[in-house]
Amino acid sequence: MNVSVVKYTGEDTGRKVSLSKDVYGIEPNDHAIYLDVKQYLANQRQGTHKSKERAEISGSTRKIKKQKGTGTARAGSIKSPIFRGGGTVFGPQPRNYAFKLNKKLKQLARKSALSYKAKEKSIAIIEDFTLEAPRTKEYRKMLETLSLNDKKTLLVLGDANKNVVLSGRNIRNTKIVAAEALNTYDVLNADTLILSESSVEQIENLFNKKS
């Protein structure tokens, strides 16, 4: 698959980049994608949820009424879960939601996501560029020239560029990552994948690496 390279100003460079079939042309594996996205979302969870159980509630330990003769059920503590303000039964406790996936499966998931984008023709390639200072206006102008200002975009850079990242981070539906940080969730979550010219080779090297 050949894709034309354009400048960030929207001008055509006259060059084309060939996307590897081993990365952008495989038969997508939906289950691998599901597992990788599930792991990504699980890793975002803090897991700090907590409710107090009966033993952790502050309150008197005095028996609240006599055992017999009241005509109602016996009750020994105001901390009982059946009373308002009592402890919670089987409530949430702090936990770690993370789980492991092997590297080959994650590589397959990411290549599957990229292959979906290639089939949808939702990949654009721009010439490597840099900004002298963080300028949101410049980044927004780039999206407008590429007719992507109303779409959710993911820009993948060959190397992290602080000024470019700062320029785009306040723009809604825009995300910028380095090639080494590319993940399945971000690829699928974007309407259009924008690859810098230098990131193409890096992505192919990363996802074809034998481990």
pLDDT at 211 over 60: no
Second CATH level (architecture) for the domain 2-45+97-207: 3-Layer(aba) Sandwich (3.40)
pLDDT digits (tens, 9 = 90+) for 79-103: 999 999 999 999 999 999 999 999 9
**pTM given for the model:** 0.83
Of the given ranges (16-30, 47-61, 95-109, 196-210), which has the lowest mean pLDDT? Answer: 196-210
Q: Are 6 and 145 in contact (CB under 8 A)?
A: no
* DSSP 8-state symbol, 88: P
Helix (H, G, I), strand (E, B) or coil at 42: helix
- The percent helix, strand, coil of the chain (3-state, each to 5) is 35, 15, 50
Annotated domain spans of the chain = 2-45+97-207, 49-96
Compute CA 151 distance to the chain's CA centroid, rounded to the nearest angstrom: 17
pLDDT digits (tens, 9 = 90+) for 111-127: 999 999 999 999 999 99
Task: Determine what percent of the chain is predicted with pLDDT higher than 90.
Answer: 71
CA distance 153 to 6: 16
Q: Are 189 and 113 in contact (CB under 8 A)?
A: no
What sign results for the dihedral spanned by CA atoms 185, 150, 21, 197? negative
